[in-house]
Copies of this chain bind each other. A is one copy, B any other.
Amino acid sequence: MVIVMKLNSSAEQISALVSRLKNNGFQTHLIKGVKRIVIGAVGDRQPVNMAALESMPGVEKVLRIMKPYKLVCREVQGEDTVLRVGGVNIGGNKLTVIAGPCAVESREQLLAAARAVRLSGANVLRGGAYKPRTSPYSFQGLEEEGLCLLAEVGAETGLATVTEVVDEESLAIAARYVDILQIGARNMQNFRLLRLAGQIRKPILLKRGLSATVEEWLMAAEYIVSEGNGEVILCERGIRTFEDSTRNTLDLSAVALAKQLTHLPVIVDPSHATGKRELVAAMSRAAVAAGADGLIIEVHPDPAVALCDGPQSLDPGEFDGLMAGLRPLAEAVGRELQYSPVQ
């Protein structure tokens, strides 16, 4: 059961409601969304007087949700969740473009990438400092040093920032430096990390697992939201299938479906999905046409020398071409690209 509070509900009204629910044997989850407070009440099998609850002060509506994901589903909130990060919208009518290198390698590399993507119209700068690598012997990222550079370059170029976190420690550190924290595909069901991400006050970019169903993906978001952090951005990045001509199989139907099932923003990562530079622009257009709220794209000043994911990284010129092609397409589907506030 989910209780949606009125926009102007008071702290007293909320705590009165929570007390009543607990007295009735419910476990409660208080979700501070972007605009309103929602209370999830789970675990009860006994009949409850929904009308009585609905008549309590501050309550807008009480819903019985049959889906396993109760707080992120469209039934709770019909309109799209729109997040605000550093002057940029994520979700809603405006598209968000996140771009930057796979890994932060140096100040020069990051700054070059940031300036380039900024000029072409990107809104958020990506850059990995903690890299989950298949091999223990591969480059694992610059860690806190990389975060410092990311924060510095973000400030210098006026771009919001996003970076991947992989455990409790990197989450705590990254939360001090960057605007959006990413949980990667391999950690989509690292439930401990999801819970911790639900306890901070920063947006979480949650990538779909390599073999996660749409329902499992939404349940992972529900983990975060049920801890109180309603600011989750879903990201489709390709699933693992038998097809080996692309790195993964980009599942855009999952994007269109997720947009129907949840009010959370859904973006697409065509770089990891395809693993091939020459497919990134086409798949970016397809993602927007399918209804995605944004893109996250790997751009490197010189892909040939990238420490990771070179073959799928665009150079600044290619990225600029991609953005140019995206503009008319966005309009054609009734969306618009937005520009970062600082010029």
Q: Which positions in A face B, CB cutoff 8 Å? A: 27, 42-43, 68, 70, 132-137, 166-169, 186-187, 189-193, 195, 210-211, 213-216, 219, 222-223, 226-227, 239-246, 249-254, 256-257, 260, 273-274, 276, 278-279, 282-283, 285-291, 325, 328-329, 331-333
Contacts and interface: CB of A to CB of B under 8 A. Distances in A.
Q: Work out how many copies of this chain go into the complex.
A: 4
Contacts of A134: 68, 189, 216, 219
Contact of A189 (B132, B213, B241, B286): B132
A253 B274 contact: yes
B288 A213 contact: no
A156 to B, nearest CB: 31
A242 B211 contact: yes
A256 B242 contact: no
A252 B191 contact: no
A42 B195 CA distance: 36
B135 A285 contact: no
A167 B194 CA distance: 12
Contacts of A191: 132-133, 136, 166, 186
Among all A-B residue pairs, the 8 with the closest Cβ atoms:
A211-B211, A289-B289, A167-B192, A332-B332, A286-B290, A256-B282, A186-B189, A285-B289
A289 B288 contact: yes
Given A134-B219, A167-B192, A242-B242, 15 more contacts: A27-B137, A43-B137, A136-B195, A136-B222, A211-B242, A241-B249, A243-B254, A249-B251, A249-B253, A257-B276, A285-B290, A285-B333, A286-B286, A328-B331, A328-B332
Nearest to A331: B332
